[in-house]
Structure 1
Amino acid sequence: MTEHLRLPPVALITYSTRPRGGVAHTLALGEAMHALGQDVLIIGLGDPGKGFFRPVAAPTHVVTAPVTTGGLEEKVAANIDALEAALADLAPAYPILHTQDCIAARAAARVRDAGIPSRVVRTVHHVDDFDSEILMDCQRQAILEPDQILVVTKIWQDILREDYGVLADVVPNGVDPARYSRHSPEVVARLRARVGATDRPLLLSVGGIEPRKGSDTLVAALSRLVGERTPPPVLAVLGGHSFQDHRAYREKVLASLDALGLTLGKDVVELGTVPEDEMAAWYAAADVLAFPSVKEGFGLAALEAMAAGLPVVTSDIPVFREWLVPGRDALLTPVGDAGALADALSAVLDDEALRARLRTAGLSLADRYTWTASARRHLELYAGSPEALTAH
């Protein structure tokens, strides 16, 4: 597979070691490339003593994340500087620098522009809406400076072409179906008991409480379900680590619970970051994934849920219509429509035949999106550039 391409070593670089979508993408892609025989190094910013949030079946290198006391602008600048310094030493051995975010892309471009003959590849998962002009400019440069741009869905290919004049190649996300099919009934029962769902339906939310995940719409929908259903469902919220500070939004959502007739710890249970080896069991423990995102690059949690056989209710946004068939693979509801979201969640909870159809379709779809296929496509695209074919 890779022998005839004669690809030099590839460094896959991400801004964190925590369990966020882009980081999970980087680890899984690096592992799949490594399994195919490609020489890779996965680089992240974090605590070298702790490493990445899960064991990684590929070589890794963790760069010490700088400690800052200022705002997001200072944090971004410091992280770019830290990655640049590390890449200046590492890049000569890794001629292909595949970056997964703005911070890594800016750092890699600086190293290349300083004279190290590296090809900078960037995967744009999505484009953030920053309040800061400095950060918006940083994000723009991180799209314009790389030598090669990849995206995970066609909608983002269109956006980058229209808004930035950049031509990108599409390589979808992947999933390891075997990983999400392994779980213990005893662990599943214990997880449901942990959130008080032994005798209540369990809704699962992945990604924490933040604007992009539509958390305000989700708790409004939950309020209606709790008021109408016996027994009422419980919402378990996993994750929440983000480079951006969403504390004000989170506090606003949590402050709304009382007026919505919801109790934190009873109806809404925040779990934060859970051990990675628990994720398959959480998907198995839940009755439905509630994923009303406002914006996604791909929506990896939805694909993971399907690989675990968990029905999905998500938002009717272009990125999901690109790889999901509404009503067959998942139920899609209008963004911000809490009533429609509540109706869709109720339909999944009440209709056993619907659950079975969604489960079967989801499993079939997950089998078509593998990390091995994604890794092969990445290697083909690297090799499509003359610089990538340098004999090694």
Structure 2
Amino acid sequence: MKIALVSPYDFAYPGGVCNHISNLEEQLTKMGHDVKIIAPASKAVSALGERLIPIGKPRPVPVSGSVARITLSPWLSSRIKRVLEREKFEVAHLHEPLMPMLCTTVLRLSNAPNIGTFHASGGKPWYDFGTPLGKLILKKWFRRLDYKIAVSKPAMDYVNKFFPDEYSIVPNGVDTGHFRPDVEPLEEYLDGKLNILFIGRLEKRKGLDYLLDAYQQVKREIPDSRLLVVGPGIRLRKKYEKRVARRGIEDVIFIGYATYGDLPRYYKTADIVCCPATGWESFGIVLIEAMAVGTPVVASNILGYASVLTHGSEGLLVPPKNVPGLAEALLSLAGDESRRQKMSQNGIATAQKYSWENVAKQVLACYQKALG
């Protein structure tokens, strides 16, 4: 089957939707399908070669407490039309299909069955233009979709508020060959200290503020502990580093961006992974990656996280923005190695359900339904 996977986001910049598309492309290609990714790209993505068709120059746009790097050019039609005529895709699979301008233009011009996957579960990612005309345009684009997918129940419930329809839930996946229990940890952090790990972009909604406050309490109780902060972001990193220095909190290490190859090693190095996001998470991909490696998780009890982690099984859920609760949960697991081991085994078993092989099979079943 000849498949187009369409991303509205800059494919040269790491992010959940782009990672989802990359892994899906790899798995579908392994299964014998001819797959191309259509996306804006701020620079060449050499790893994909001709499998990536770059269209449009991405610009940073604030969206729902984050920054979306999308192309807003209204002059994409002729380029997209040429690509669609040349490639003759049998299926066009658009991720966040109502995000302008690349996805909406492909949606308008594609003559193949159009499948849309909705990832978001918070804010207003273009679902509401704020004007009657804008809403009419979105509804017109939405009617071009032949099949609708949401990555979780929270994502489905969210998009249903704007566009009531029938959706299939197909979750995000994890590369269980890459994120696996037998990866090697990072030697420099194996000095006997308890390692707590935060992985994510340094954005306010990711909740690092609350983790820093909670870790200050943990550090008082367990002096032999360390907080590793992994993820891109410059502006807030400087703020967080000043905050840590001002309060005299020791052993907070800001790693910055980590390569995909190194991520499993960070998870393996950690005794506990902490995901303190305040909301707007439709799915807990970091939680699943940690589980696949076998590291227990302490996470906010928000819908996207609670849909993948069972409290007391693979980790603990605490109310968002609750510093005392976060500190208590971290201390509880820190002091109970046997419980962490049990959660580790439960997490490994749970993560297998989200392997990309299983997810790709579910996606293909959706394609077949759309093709009739």
Which of the five TM-score ranges fits, normalised by the shorter chain? 0.7 to 0.9
Gap regions ≥5 residues in structure 1: 1-7
Preserved CA contact (<8 Å) 1:240 1:272: yes
- Deviation at residue 338 of structure 1 after TM alignment: 1.1
TM-score, structure 1 length as denominator?
A: 0.80
Letter in 2 for 1:11: A
Gap regions ≥5 residues in structure 2: none
- The structure richer in helix per residue is 1
Preserved CA contact (<8 Å) 2:181 2:268: no
Letter in 2 for 1:141: L
- 2:177 maps to 178
Residues in 1 aligned to 2:180 and 2:213: alpha-carbon distance in whole angstroms = 32
RMSD (Å) for aligned C-alpha atoms? 3.3
Preserved CA contact (<8 Å) 1:333 1:340: yes
The Cα offsets for residues 33-66 of structure 1, whole Å up to 9 and x where unpaired, read as: 1112222112332245343xxx45x962151652
Aligned ranges 1:71-220 → 2 under 5 Å: 72=62, 78-79=71-72, 81=74, 86-92=79-85, 93=87, 94-101=89-96, 106-114=101-109, 116-129=110-123, 141=138, 144=142, 146-147=144-145, 148-181=147-180, 185=184, 188-190=186-188, 192=189, 198-220=191-213
Letter in 2 for 1:124: F
Residues in 2 aligned to 1:75 and 1:371: alpha-carbon distance in whole angstroms = 25
- 1:240 maps to 232
Equivalenced residue count is 359
Larger RCO: Structure 1 or Structure 2 (Cα < 8 Å, ≥ 6 residues apart)? 1
Letter in 2 for 1:324: L
- 2:309 maps to 324
- Deviation at residue 176 of structure 1 after TM alignment: 2.3
Residues in 2 aligned to 1:82 and 1:182: alpha-carbon distance in whole angstroms = 47
For 1:10, what is the secondary structure of its paired residue?
A: strand
TM-score, structure 2 length as denominator?
A: 0.84
For 2:352, what is the secondary structure of its paired residue?
A: helix
For 1:40, what is the secondary structure of its paired residue?
A: strand
Aligned ranges 1:174-323 → 2 under 5 Å: 174-181=173-180, 185=184, 188-190=186-188, 192=189, 198-231=191-224, 233-240=225-232, 247=235, 252-262=239-249, 267-295=251-279, 296-323=281-308
- 2:51 maps to 60
The Cα offsets for residues 56-114 of structure 1, whole Å up to 9 and x where unpaired, read as: 5x96215165275x865998674454765543222232242212236766423324434
- 1:336 maps to 321
The Cα offsets for residues 337-375 of structure 1, whole Å up to 9 and x where unpaired, read as: 111111111222211111111101001101122111111
Identity value in percent: 23
